[in-house]
Amino acid sequence: MRCPTGKNGYYSESEVQEALIRSHIRFVQAAKTYYKCHDCGEYHLTKQGELHPLLSTPEVKARIKREQQEQAWLGKLR
């Protein structure tokens, strides 16, 4: 189902959590958290509100840093 908001939808919480982490790897102004949409019932990322606690865990912080470094090296090698 396409959401009337036009935002990308994620079916499960685990799927949107992965998208949230990937947004922090790829973008300077990344999404801060996610919410379940009342219109379509799917999850959406948002830059509004407080930073999701998942992003403050040591494991996720280390993953974001590691994958950002990998992307930087890949960019240099191209």
Chain segment 2-32, per-residue pLDDT in tens: 888 889 999 999 999 999 999 999 998 999 9
What is the DSSP secondary-structure string of 18-54? Answer: HHHHHHHHH-SS---EEEE-TTTSSEEEESSSSPPGG
Task: Say what the pLDDT of residue 1 is.
Answer: 59
Q: Structure tokens of 49?
A: 């509100």
Task: Say what the pLDDT of residue 60 is.
Answer: 96
Q: What is the pTM of this model?
A: 0.87
Contact of 40 with 49, CB cutoff 8 Å: no
